[in-house]
Amino acid sequence: MAESTSAQLASTPQEKFALIKDNLQEVLNPEIIEEILQKNERPLRIYWGTATTGKPHCGYFVPMLKIAQFLAAGSHVTILLADVHGFLDNLKAPIELVQERVKYYRYCITALLQAVGVDITRLEFVTGSDYQYSSQYVSDIYKLSTQVSVHDASKAGSDVVKQVDSPPLSSHLYPLMQALDEEHLNVDAQFGGVDQRKIFTLAVETLPRIGYRKRAHLMNPLIPGLQEGGKMSSSDPDSKIDLIEPAEIVKKKLKKAFCPPKQVVGNGVISFVEFVLLPASALKNKGVPKFSVPRRDAETLEYTCIQKLKDDYLSDILSPQSLKPAVTEALLEILEPIRRAFEEDKEWQAVETRAYPPPPAPEKKKKKEKNLGSRFPGGAGKGGEGAVEVKPDGHVEGDGALEVSVGVKDLSLSGEEAKA
């Protein structure tokens, strides 16, 4: 994989294309991008979307740093805050919380981009519900649904949409909408993680069937989580670090992160250096990446490329005991302005509370009462009919989850009904 290059403005079509594809894992239909750059009649238009579900975490630095490069290449970038997608994904985001989460995501993404020196005035934010309820969009969904089988829709979303034994119909609409967004956002390319490749392939194959052109697709690699196995995920608190987590929690999580000696593959700490810390440092150092590792009984190690760091780690020149503190210090330096902005902004704090309401405090122990059954008033207690459980990322599960998500039932549960 190519080393990160400078995010300084590129001038020639060749320089722009090199910057656009830098550090990506894969590019589908690159000729579409090259043709637009060669003609130089207008900026290349790219969109990146995120479903507004769990809290944004440090893994979001990866797409943000790429967006910085897209902007440096002269591209127009649209960030889609996909609220409808969040609701459709197996009810991850209860509908009454979606709008608050859109606000929270915009606060986080703005602060994150500012933390790595990106001029946010050159970005366009769009909320999915602003256009996905229009008659034209709904008509296109109907058309596209006649061209895609249930099997293909399920396969396309298998790496992105939450998988359950009996999936709701909404999980099949999710990938169709993501494909259709390319047309309704009027872009030339969609950017996302490599886990979205099947949706990107679906878009390439199906949009021409309803009269729309195919687009290019840009895919960044996924950062392994801080625990062994899996990616950094909003639904697993131990696998990720939230953007506004206190410094002491960041230190604890990195201290216990999976980082075995002489193992590079699947090492989330090293991947974080590769895809976040080195590229972020390049933005601050006029295109020159730099990562320093102080050592207690030896000279400080300086790295400008990830391969040298990996070689030293494999040969045990660089140890986990030296690497983890260095990563912690560098990460805290990036997160500090984000955390400070949150602490100084009362409205952002209020939005966070509304978007991710904390579970109710447990009630004091009461005298055990006989369960008279659900036919009696108050019979649906813990585990009974209508019970819900609030998960760490904010979505709810249980017999009453559907009512909570569509707004029929009040989320402000109490006692045993709402214990997470």
Average pLDDT over residues 104-133: 91
Residue 2's pLDDT is 39
pLDDT exceeds cutoff 60 at 409: no
Out of 1.10.150.20, 3.40.50.620, 3.20.20.70, 2.60.40.10, the CATH code matching 13-220 is: 3.40.50.620
> What is each CA distance from 281 to 238, 244, 271, in whole angstroms?
26, 20, 15
- The residue ranges of every structural domain in the chain are 13-220, 237-355, 377-420
- In angstroms, the CA 358 to CA 363 distance is 15
pLDDT exceeds cutoff 50 at 193: yes
Q: Which residues, including other chains, have CB under 8 Å from residue 266's CB and lie 6 or more apart?
A: 224, 228, 229, 258
Q: Which residues pair with 397 in a beta bridge?
A: 389
pLDDT exceeds cutoff 80 at 57: yes
> What is each CA distance from 273 to 4, 309, 359, in whole angstroms?
12, 9, 34
pLDDT exceeds cutoff 60 at 383: no
Tell me: the pLDDT tens digits for 327-336?
999 999 999 9
User: What percent of the chain is modeled with pLDDT above 70?
Assistant: 81
Average pLDDT over residues 178-194: 97
Mean of the per-residue pLDDT values of the chain: 85
Residue 414's pLDDT is 42
CATH fold, domain 237-355, is Tyrosyl-Transfer RNA Synthetase (1.10.240)
Residue 13's pLDDT is 95
Residue 377's pLDDT is 52
Tell me: the pLDDT tens digits for 139-159?
999 999 999 999 999 998 888
> What is each CA distance from 325 to 36, 55, 156, 224, in whole angstroms?
45, 25, 40, 19
> What is each CA distance from 141 to 23, 111, 247, 371, 410, in whole angstroms?
34, 34, 45, 48, 31
pTM of the predicted protein model? 0.80
pLDDT exceeds cutoff 90 at 14: yes
Average pLDDT over residues 43-61: 92
Confidence of residue 227 (pLDDT cuts 50, 70, 90): confident
